[in-house]
Amino acid sequence: MSELLEYLGTAEQAAETAVEVIRTGLGRVRSISGKGDRDFATDLDYAVEDAVRAFLEQETPGIPMLGEERGRTGDSDSPYEWVLDPIDGTINFAHHSPMFGVSLGLMRNGMPVVGVVFAPMSEERFSAALGHGAALNKQALHATGPSELAEAVVAMGDFPVGEDAAKRNLRRLATLQRLVPKVQRIRMLGTAALDMCWLAAGRVDAVLHERINLWDVAAGTVICREAGVLVTDLDGVDYGDGALSVLAAGPQIHRALLAELG
């Protein structure tokens, strides 16, 4: 078994650990705190991250971690790094929407090589390792989609609030003004991790986030790529650590969107 498949197995177990914590907390009153620009966390976000950290520190003690809630810890000299969003779609979760999930990726030299996204409410586990394909509940994923932009459903991120929001929202509205007449539909699911996984599964045809964090899409990036999807930033550069945006789609839709956004 390759090293990446071993790490995928570890990531799947870590995601199971996270989901167990989530399930114990469902139905309870949640405390929610603001962290900045449209960025919130519940007490369960921290509990999930702490449980996953403890599991991975035991299973892979030499690999550092970047978590949304606790930041970066561990040996910075390692070529690998775990990247965790304990609950991607926190606002959805806090409002009792099923559209949220645990997102755990493994980076190697700055590029995603293993990814697991577990959506507890739908019992869907998306997973992939570089060179070994992508799967949904162990069934292989091969993304299919339209070749024409007019037939494409495009998932986009939420409108920002807070500092610099007015300027960013002007750009967002300009993007919508360009795209709405040319695509079939725009969707805002409120969870970037599931945006990416739904693209790999053929439920949407493109994902566009003009500003995104690594923990939101690291796992989804390798899942998409292993399903046959292109994943770049908005300049067309392969998505990896340090990228600030993401554009993911099949080759023809990706090319058409880059042309519209350029």
Q: Are 247 and 196 in contact (CB under 8 A)?
A: no
Sorting pLDDT into bands at 50, 70 and 90, what band is 216?
Answer: very high
Sorting pLDDT into bands at 50, 70 and 90, what band is 38?
Answer: very low
- List alpha helices for 86-213, DSSP H: 90-94, 165-179, 192-200
Cβ atoms < 10 Å from Cβ of 102: 28
187 forms bridges with which residues in the sheet?
A: 155
Task: Return the residue matching tokens 């796992």.
Answer: 219
Exposure letters 175-212 (e unless 16+ CB within 10 A, then b): beeebeeebeebbebbbbbbbbbbbbbeebbbbbbbeb
Q: Tens of pLDDT along 233-246?
A: 999 999 999 999 99
pLDDT of residue 259: 95
Sorting pLDDT into bands at 50, 70 and 90, what band is 42?
Answer: confident
Distances (CA, A) of 205 to 89, 166, 197, 216, 251: 20, 28, 11, 18, 11
Sorting pLDDT into bands at 50, 70 and 90, what band is 37?
Answer: very low
Please list, in sequence order, all residues whose beta carbon lies within 8 angstroms of the beta carbon of residue 229, skipping any fewer than 6 positions away: 143, 199, 200, 248, 249, 250
Q: Tens of pLDDT along 170-214?
A: 999 999 999 999 999 999 999 999 999 999 999 999 999 999 999
pTM exceeding the 0.95 threshold for the entire prediction: no
- Calpha distance 73→70 (Å, rounded): 8
209 forms bridges with which residues in the sheet?
A: 246
